[in-house]
Amino acid sequence: MYYFEKFPVGRVFGLGHCTVSEEEIVAFGTCYGPQPFVDGLLSDSASLGSPGIDELRWPTPIHPGDTLRARYTAASSRESRSHPEWGIVQGLAIGANQDGVSAITMSVTNLINRRTSAKGSEALRSGVPGVSM
């Protein structure tokens, strides 16, 4: 389980890779979501979700037969002032093709449960009030 403390600035997480077919590219474009890459990290973290994507770019086309490898780098992290049991991690996700050329970049903010709050409490919230996931 990845809690807030496991996201120090500069830590890089390998997110895996996949080879994509033409059908998968069309299906992905229809759904508009890079979830297969992100789900691995999020399912192993104490993530509470995200208030949104700050920036999303597609600098290079993805072609049939490309093998994409993604990684996420925690660019900044801080404790939440309003909810000390949460951490706020801002990061950059990059998906590159087999030649190392970036095909997608995404700047995103995530809310992540802390193992302990600033007061040392072991009690952690299981979700964000008022936010549906």
Domains and CATH numbers, the chain: 4-113 (3.10.129.10)
Higher pLDDT, 11 or 119: 11
The type of residue at 15 is L
Interatomic CA distance for residues 20 and 2, integer angstroms: 28
Closest of 64, 57, 55 to residue 98, by C-alpha? 64
Residue 127 has pLDDT above 70, yes or no: no
Mean pLDDT of the chain: 80
Interatomic CA distance for residues 36 and 38, integer angstroms: 6
Give the model confidence (pLDDT) of 11-66 as tens digits.
Answer: 999 988 888 888 887 777 666 555 555 556 666 788 787 888 899 999 999 999 99
Average pLDDT for 64-89: 92
Q: Any idea which residue has 């404790």 for tokens?
A: 79
Q: What is the pLDDT of residue 122?
A: 40
Q: What is the pLDDT of residue 119?
A: 56
Strands 102-113 and 47-57: antiparallel
pTM of the model: 0.62
Other C-beta atoms closer than 10 Å to the C-beta of 23 total 9
